[in-house]
Structure 1
Amino acid sequence: MDKDYFNKIRILDGGMGQELLHRGLKPKGTLWSAQALIDKDCHQMVIDAHLDFINAGAEVIVTATFTARRKRLKENDSEKYFEKINTKAVKLALRARDI
């Protein structure tokens, strides 16, 4: 990425966790967006949310990893997914970017 990319104001995407809930995500415990990364059936929902933010004018999208941190996953007996879902979040964001 060009080091000067953020020298001007850029439009960021919106709140992914809330958007996924709005789209019907049913998280277990306090996993929120991490649940969408664990559940393969929700991966398209994540991509679609990214695409909608991009189509609305977002120049920068972030991964859906707010609740994919080790501590939160451990609190929800899901720590074993840490590396897998953080990697998946990047892949889903890149897939949306490249569509």
Structure 2
Amino acid sequence: MCLIRINLNNGFHKNSNNEIIRGNRINIYSEEEYLRKNDGSTYMRAYALPYKTFEDNSDFVNQLFALLEYTKKRHNDNINVETNLFF
């Protein structure tokens, strides 16, 4: 089970209230969403970016650090992300 997911793409998610969230978004676990969807599998509610500490951009590293801040994870600047691995 996933509690939080960031989608950095041009896809979409349809919430139980029929609201369609397109593009960059964050999906967060919601028991209410699970009960309202009543499809036995959908349990996340989508929110368009920007949302709280998250900006609306597709920068993976930026969003990773926003996620760490949002989930209150301490990393003490000990995370080094190699941004040129696939170039």
TM-score category of the 2 structures, normalised to the smaller one? under 0.3
Rg (Cα) greater in structure: 2
Q: TM-score, normalised by structure 1?
A: 0.22
- TM norm structure 2: 0.25
More strand by share: 2
Q: Which fold has the larger relative contact order, with Cα–Cα distance below 8 Å and residues 6 or more apart in sequence?
A: 1
